[in-house]
Amino acid sequence: MYDRYALLNAVDLPALADELLGGSRGTGHAARWACPNPDHPQTGRTPPVTITTNRHGDQLWHCHACGDGGSALDLIARVHRTDIRGAFDHLADRVGQTHLPADASVTPRAAGPVRRPPEPTAPVPASAGLQRYADECARRLWEPEGREIRDWLTVTRGLPADVLHHNRIGADTGPRQGRPWGLAVAEGGAAVVPIHHDDELIYVQLRLLHPPEGRDRFLNPTARLARNPRVGVLQPVARTQPEIIVTEGPIDALSAVAAGYTAVAVLGAGYVHNPLTAAILSRIPGRLILAFDPDHAGDTAARRLPALLAAHQRPVRLLPLEHGDLNDHHRLARNVWPDDLARRVTQATSPDLRPEASLRTAVGL
């Protein structure tokens, strides 16, 4: 057990980056470092890593090319190819901190800024215009004009109709459909995923069926219509499993819901690395299981999010996925999907496998 905030307060991150990454190009706010991620190909151009201080006083590094980043602990973990426990040991040895007794009170050092995990705010209801839009989309999904989107959800993606009904999933049929100002037109149509809190709409996210090449698959409303809650909880028709499955998007979350799990979708790739996302997840009761894609972005998230959750004393396990995303596994498993996902969760939560070991194996650390 270490005093995490005291450890981080005792380290100057730019100096640590100079030591571990071979020095910076530029100085001050213009300083740039090479990316420590072993899977990030260095191109020889301007180094992509910058270091900033957030409003909580935390010094954080971020790679603008691959999205990797984090605190001094994450930097040590990347460079020394160790897990978060090894990074704690390395940093504690560097600053001279010893293990604390199990009953010790953990407080920040007096010197330096006090760093506390950010506190999430209460969910804010979406605007009346966005609520009317979500209701209209939910109706359209089951009418003739929503057939293409309905087929994409139920046939292409394999999502059961009762799950779509229960979570009030909708269809945006394109430019002719009315929408509130502040929501982009869904060219080619989109599945509409509403996010509710205590049965009140707080957000919607649109998944485009035919996203233009090089463009994001998701559309989000402006803050005037709804404040992005960063995570969205989706519920099964009948909850049969106690764990909470955390995914990178709503379609994967609906796949977890189809197997009887409550699911939490992170509503934006950048939010996976945001400390506030971890703060929100830490308040959701239940064992958290990460079901991220087995690709570079998913691997980065699987490294970063557990470290952020550790600040809230929330352990997390990683669901083993051999290829593709959770929805890909759902479609391949078909009728045995609930049993298949339950087996994977059992494997991830085995008492013989430590959380950091499961993460290390999955992401190749």
> Last residue of some domain: 195, 229, 263?
229
CB distance 206 to 188 below 8 Å: no
pLDDT band at 319 (very low <50, low <70, confident <90, very high): very high
CA atoms within 13 A on the CB side of 340: 18
What is the predicted pLDDT for the residue at 353? 53
- pLDDT value of position 97: 57
pLDDT of res. 37:
82
- pLDDT at position 38: 74
| Distance (Å, whole) CA 238 – CA 250 | 18
Is the pLDDT at 331 greater than 90? The verdict is yes
Half-sphere exposure of 305 (CA within 13 A, CB side): 31
Say what angle helices 296-310 and 275-282 make with each other, to 10 degrees.
60
How do residues 126-182 score in pLDDT, each as one tens digit?
A: 999 999 999 999 999 999 999 999 999 999 999 999 999 999 999 999 998 999 998
Which CATH number is 329's domain given?
Answer: 3.40.1360.10
Mean pLDDT of 233-255: 96
**Same domain, residue pair 234 and 354:** yes
What DSSP state is assigned to residue 32? B
CATH number of the domain that residue 13 is part of = 3.90.580.10
Mean pLDDT of 275-281: 89
187 part of a folded domain: yes
Within-domain flag for 348: yes
Give residue 335's Cα distance to chain centre: 28
Considering the chain, what is the average pLDDT of its residues?
84
252 and 288 both lie in a single domain = yes
- Same domain, yes or no: 280 and 290: yes
Angle (CA) 143-148-154 rounded to 5° is 90
Is 30 part of a structural domain of the chain?
Answer: yes
Above pLDDT 90, what percent of the chain? 46
Amino acid, single-letter form, for residue 208: L
d(CA 54, CA 151): 44
Which domain does 352 fall in, by range? Answer: 230-365
How many whole angstroms separate alpha carbon 299 and alpha carbon 303? 6
* DSSP string for residues in 160-188: -HHHHHHTT-EEE--TTS---TTS---TT
Quote the pLDDT of residue 180: 93
Q: Read off the amino acid at residue 196.
A: H
Q: Of 62-76, 106-120, 216-230, 288-302, where does mean pLDDT reach its minimum?
A: 106-120
If asked whether residues 225 and 337 sit together in one domain, one would say: no
Give the span between the Cα atoms of 353 and 252, in whole angstroms: 25
Strand-strand pairing, 262-266 and 244-247: parallel
- Its pTM stands at 0.69
Give 263's strand partners. Answer: 234, 245
Q: In the structure encoding, which two tokens stand for residue 136, read together?
A: 């209209």
Q: Are residues 195 and 246 in the same domain?
A: no
Q: What is the DSSP letter of 35?
A: -
Q: Are both 246 and 360 inside the same structural domain?
A: yes
H helical segments located in the chain? 4-9, 13-21, 72-80, 84-95, 128-140, 147-151, 161-166, 250-258, 275-282, 296-310, 326-333, 337-348, 355-363
Q: How many domains does the chain have?
A: 3
Q: Do 185 and 217 belong together in one domain? A: yes
Structure-token pair, residue 111:
């010197």
Q: Are residue 224 and residue 236 in the same domain, yes or no?
A: no
Domain boundary pick from 80, 95, 110: 95
The structure tokens 């151009």 sit at 45
- % of the chain residues with pLDDT over 70: 85
* Residue 265 exposed, middle or buried by CB count within 10 Å (0-12, 13-18, 19+): buried
